[in-house]
Chain A
Amino acid sequence: MNTLRILKKLCSRFYWKDLFLFVTLALMVIFTNIITQPVQTFLNARRQIRDVIPLDYESTLHFDPSYSLLFSSMGFTEERSYHPEVHEAIRNCDGVRAVLEMYSGGASCQEGGGTFNFQMYLYSQSFASYIPPWPEAGRNAEGTEGRLPVMVSPAAADMLPVGTAFDLEMVLTSYEDVKELSVPCVAAGILSPERALPRAGVDNKSLGAIGLAPEYWQDAPLVAAVYDPAFFGEIPWDYPAIIVPEKDADRDALRARLGEALGTWGEVRDLAQIERNVLASTLSESLPEQLKFLLLALIAIFGYGAYLFLAIRQRERQFAVFYIAGMTKKRMFTLNMLFNVVLYLLAAAVGWVLTPWVAKSFVHVESYTGAGLLGTLCTGGLFLVTLLMSLTASFIQNRNAAAITLYHKGD
């Protein structure tokens, strides 16, 4: 309690050096937040996607077709498509437990005299059984008789309020046949704007290969449903797909077998590898732009550390008096630590408030999403290391604690 009283006394005295320390800390927080933003965005998306995909990321595989296969699925192909061969190759591979497919593509409906276009996510039943795309509670099953219940995104909910019956027009072009469908649907619920949407997609630079974080879909007009053969009949499933291995399957052996069976048709990776690739891509793409902020952050933290070292001298007399009055060196060190932690917390609060403005005004990052855990850990860690180094150095410098010379004026 008394340590806090002395701390309060320290904090209540204003010195210009404290303002300088405060400003350098706030700048360090701002720059570090900006530097960590791309990785923080990745981590946020990864957490949100992992929340909805309850599979083992090390053993679950993802098949990504080559572009030639994609072109073929769009009709630019010879008469015989090799999709069935891909199907066969995956399904017949020893150790494969399930293949989770989905369709994503354009769809439209006529409503109120106009035509509305949507992005359609159609999950296979196996996909939905392994990765429920939305919580069961989010779906209103009432009044869906004879119609396919679909979930709509908040951006589509204005056009298709819950309970609206409509016919969804779709053209499936992923196989040799072009299949036009008109599916009677009913809007059964609104997708939670807080939740990621799982998917099996083509995307090497974001986590879109396995899911979409809310910020990437919540503003888009999107409808999603689980495949029901009563409405669609037999449809050829698109690739990419997620491959769930048997529980006791050897992951590496399965990958090797799939790689051999699929040849050049595409690439097989595990979900964790996709995440690692995206992180590496994020780092390499953002680094050149972020280097200048890294430099600024280092200048700020170095300025803080050096100035703190010098500032201890300014408190020299105060601590000499404390030492003479019976305060231990350890307690003085702790007091200095606490004082600087208080200063840091204030600077961090100001830094966190100012970062979005700085990010928008100077870095042109419109979608700054906040410091998050990474930014907080980085700034906190950088601060603590610098603080301990500066304090230790200054206390060593003033080795004989009251270090601090007040009583060395005599003879």
Chain B
Amino acid sequence: MITLKDVSKNYNVGKQTEVRALRDANLEVADGDFISVTGPSGSGKSTLLHILAGLDAPTSGTYFFKDIDVTKASDKVKCGLRNRQIGIILQDFGLLGDDTALENVCLPLTIGGMRRKQALERGKSVLEQVGIAELAEKRVNQLSGGQRQRVAVARALVQNASLLLADEPTGALDSRNTSSLMDLFEALNASGMTIIIVTHNIAAAQRTPISYSIIDGVLRQERRT
């Protein structure tokens, strides 16, 4: 599904403050993989995830998502990937606080052009899938951290994405909600979804069959079970 070859990412290129956030990273991800990437702060984890999501462009190297060369793709193509094939979950959830859970979940569908009625039906079914159907009409601002993260997961799933990218998904959760979220990820992975999570949380990382680490921008596989 994903082929990352010699991907580097430098910030402030050509300046004295140039930073090499990612160095010649190579990564092969097959359909149905469940991968965690760990590393200390500033190691380049999020940079890797942003490149995988098409939010950031590598300085060098190539990145193929299925048969699409993402490094050369236009903004429209990358947005299309995020809208239909790549679900993204962020540490601070990336939700619109004044909107309801259902409105947040339906956003990718609205952007993708689905009719309102269909979108609402689909949104409700995904909220049910992640176990928070009763919160559909609640404003996100009124929800707890764990509930918000489930809304974020629901939004990532609503377009039947084949890849789920999660940036510190447990960073704002307590241990009970962390465990519950990892249960959800495992269930999704069991149903065939490919998942990559970037995390500080060692316990969460240990629950993934494949584990990578990043230190000073160097990506290395740690474990495959």
Contact = CB atoms under 8 A, between A and B. Distances in A.
Given A5-B116, A322-B111, A325-B107, A410 B91 contact: yes
Classify chain A's interface size: 20 to 34
Nearest to A317: B96
Query: Considering residues A2, A320, A324, A400, which has the most beta carbons from chain B within 10 angstroms of its beta carbon?
Result: A324
A2 B43 contact: no
Interface stretch (B59-67, B73-81, B126-134): B73-81
Contacts of A410: 45-46, 49-50, 91, 167-168, 198
A326 interface: yes
Contact of B79 (A6, A318, A327, A407): A327
A407 B90 contact: yes
A409 interface: yes
B82 A400 contact: no
A238 B187 CA distance: 101
A324 B111 contact: no
A401 B75 contact: yes
A6 B116 CA distance: 11
A407 B168 contact: no
A252 interface: no
A339 interface: no
A310 to B, nearest CB: 20
Contacts of B56: 400
A257 B94 CA distance: 81
B193 to A, nearest CB: 18
A329 to B, nearest CB: 6
A326 B94 contact: no
Given A407-B90, A410-B168, 8 more contacts: A321-B96, A326-B80, A326-B112, A329-B75, A407-B88, A409-B90, A411-B46, A411-B47
Interface of B: 41-47, 49-50, 53, 55-56, 75-76, 79-84, 88, 90-92, 94-96, 98-99, 103, 107-108, 110-114, 116, 155, 167-168, 198
23 contacts: A2-B112, A6-B110, A6-B111, A13-B98, A317-B96, A321-B96, A321-B107, A324-B53, A324-B82, A324-B90, A326-B84, A327-B83, A330-B75, A400-B55, A402-B55, A406-B92, A406-B94, A407-B53, A407-B167, A409-B92, A410-B49, A411-B44, A411-B46
Across the A-B interface, give the 9 residue pairs with the lowest CB-CB distance, nearest first.
A326-B83, A410-B46, A326-B82, A325-B108, A328-B79, A411-B42, A326-B79, A325-B107, A327-B111
